[in-house]
Structure 1
Amino acid sequence: MIDALFGSKTRVKLLHLFLNHPGQSFYVREITRIIDEQINSVRRELANMLEVGVITSDSADNKLYYQVNQRYDYYTALRAIFANEPINSTKPALTSDEAVSEQYTTTIAAIPALRLAVLSGVLVKGSTSDVDILLVGSLPAAKVKAAVALIEKNEGRELNYSVMPYEDFYYRLSVRDKFITEILASKHNVAIDKDNVLSQK
């Protein structure tokens, strides 16, 4: 039984709820009504799931809300189990950061006027950055969204990405802006650098 595999019936119900509603938040009493379990049991399992990182929490209107952590290492595998979402079997096995960069460069390069693209976060093993993709240039929003959506589909999760004009990026790089510095200080891959601005650093 899957209950035995994952520890408890309550935990299984919680995983099923969260993994079938990525991006949606629930508060405790709402959760107890939906999964029909005792509130103490729900609170105990929520605490356990928070500790391992499979869910996140945030407070609003004096309530604590919970949702699945799409940046969790085993998010895609859990979605395959609890949300019946097949793992993309056509996705090539990636054995290095360079392979990750190579896989997505073609998709990103299709964005007109793109001058710089940096991959980090969940797209680069060992990265601690909160930003997964940094795109620099005067870029059409629709093209950016389309490219990111393709990568998100392949990854099976939402990505955090940032877009900024080249002049803004270059200035923030030159003054060692915290946002830029944190991305570049973490493990990352420079997918595109048409002006060789990062190779000079």
Structure 2
Amino acid sequence: MGRASSTLEALLVSKVRIKVLKFFLLQPDVKLHLRGIVREIDEEINAVRRELTRLEEVGIVVSEEEGSKKFFQQNKESVYYYELLSMMHKAFGLGGKLIRANKALGEVKFALLTEDYLKQTHTSSQKIDLVVIGTVDLPKLTELVEQAEQKLEREIFYTVMTEREFFLKKKRRDPFVLNILTQRIVLLIGAYEELIS
């Protein structure tokens, strides 16, 4: 069996593994020892140790010894990093909520999380985390964003555009829209080909 097959098998079978992945991928800079991770995800220590070992073997997490403790963190150099990050953001947190609430939000053509949101940084001068394109029920969207802000304990910067406005700005090569389209994003709603065409 090839390395890719064994990596996928190692990733997608365990409830504890999903919790470990969620823990690391939704908190990009977290670095914690085994017992700390056990406390955070509320699972048995042996199950967590086993999953960390498997994830380290396939390069999803890395570890380093500090004193008598072994600290784990996600491996941002892994070939699977962005795919896993995308999966976790589509399943949990703000991304998961937006996907589940799609119909209640109106006629959303596209919804995406920006690279700044994924990395929980604001490196660009245009601080934006979430872009929603379509005819949107703003009070419902605001409610979802506020819930996510409380959980993350930080402000989420978002913008809403009509589909016409977005495509017009894209056609005019608006710097804001081009910046969004040239970074790594997680497309929650809509087809990527339509977004960039």
Provide TM-score, normalisation by structure 2: 0.48
Q: Which has the higher helix share?
A: 2
Q: Which protein shows a greater Rg? A: 1
